[in-house]
Amino acid sequence: MNEQYLNQTIRRIVYLESLKQSEINNLSAHLKEIDDLIKSLMLDEEMTDLTVAEFNKVLTAVKTGVATSLSGYTVAVGASLTAIAIDTYQFEVKSLNNAFDDVKLSTKIDDKKQAKIAKLVSNTPLSVTGSEGKTVTDLFNELANNESNKYINHIKLARYEGKTNQQIVQMIRGTRKNGYKDGLMEVTSRQAKTIVRTTVQHAAMQGKAEFANDNADIIKGEQWLSTMDFRTSSQCRSLDLQIFELGKGPRPPLHHNCRSTILIVLKDEYAGRGNINKRASKDGPVANESYYSWLNKQPKEFQDDVLGETRGQLLRSGGLSADKFAALQLDKNFKPLTLAEMRSREPMAFKKAGL
């Protein structure tokens, strides 16, 4: 693993997390639009006093207003996603040129290439668990549609239950005593933030994938790189440092809020400017080892927080190597195995661990 390229990639991961937060910060203006709309609609007559026709007009205004606000947010994020993908392509060019000797890269980013990358970001299906096959466009369209329907359904129920306009506004905004974290708008905020984090990661990987495809003649493969902390998913923990043939392996994001990335592995004839035997973790540089090798050296309490008590005990006492333990976590489609499935594959390890 090349030291300079790895360090640049790790810095890029940190930068990408900052970009996600920047896009999330822009959500507040759109949520304020929803807040202002709801308050304006609830200023006059009580919902319980309206005729059916009048009430339906209110519902239409709510549905249209919420969808419009979230669609406006979608447009803004969409432009950023394309820029992130293009920037990632350019980052790979610069990083590999800096890290390797005599490497000849395809680096052309003209209007045609930018348009292609934009389509890849919007139209390439995600591999995210629970959203398999959906595109970025699908995810944001669902957000606008589902959230607008949620608002009108709650207002319908509130009217049926005889709640006042003030109670309806409180239901949507949340309560002051709970920091406005218990209303519908907080749910909308969480849903939008998750989609933004996931699609930013997707956009970055599309830029990297297009770069890899353009330079396939000098690339040996793609290496999965996971973040080494307690929030890393079982899928990403088990894939950490595995190398796949170009375009044949999984690519992030595999799940919502995924932070993993891919390292480009050049063919052996390209000499790097120094190798590295350390990588970053939550506690600073550690030996260049896989996630489970690193986790096996952490305190028991931390292991159990990450894996759960049963898997933690299996890691410590099952007699499995880090690589074998990693291989035991996922099926051939990179989906997590249950404990029962793991036990059927490695019964002796469970017995040795006293499980």
- Residue 243 CA to residue 262 CA, distance in Å, equals 9
Task: Give the DSSP letter of residue 125.
Answer: P
Q: What is the pLDDT of residue 64?
A: 94
Q: Are 169 and 47 in contact (CB under 8 A)?
A: no
Strand 219-225 versus strand 286-287 pairing type: unpaired
Name the DSSP letter for residue 330: B
User: What gap in Å lies between CA 38 and CA 165, rounded to an integer?
Assistant: 10
Closest CA to 318 of 347, 294, 281, 293: 347
What CA–CA distance (Å, rounded) separates 231 from 258?
10
pTM over 0.75: yes
Confidence at residue 273, expressed as pLDDT on a 0 to 100 scale: 57
Task: Report d(CA 347, CA 355) in Å as an integer.
Answer: 9
pLDDT of residue 269: 83
- pLDDT for the residue numbered 1: 65
Collapse the DSSP code of 219 into the 3-class scheme (helix H, G, I; strand E, B; otherwise coil) and give the result.
strand
Determine the 3-state secondary structure of 244 from DSSP. Answer: strand
Give the single-character DSSP code of 126. P
Q: What angle do CA 319, 322, 325 make, to 5 degrees?
A: 70
For the chain, residues with pLDDT lower than 50 are: 274-278, 284-285, 287
Q: Which residues pair with 262 in a beta bridge?
A: 224
CA distance 237 to 224: 10
Query: Can you tell me the distance from the alpha carbon of 42 to that of 45, in angstroms, rounded to the nearest whole number?
Result: 7
Phi-psi bin for 179: left (phi > 0), alpha (psi -120 to 50), beta? left
pLDDT (0 to 100) of residue 275: 45
Strand, coil or helix: 264: strand
With both helix axes pointing from N to C terminus, report the angle between 27-41 and 3-25 in degrees, rounded to the nearest 10. Answer: 20
CA angle 110, 216, 274 (to 5 degrees): 100
Q: Tell me the three state secondary structure of residue 50.
A: coil
pLDDT score of 288: 59
C-beta separation of 198 from 253 below 8 A: yes
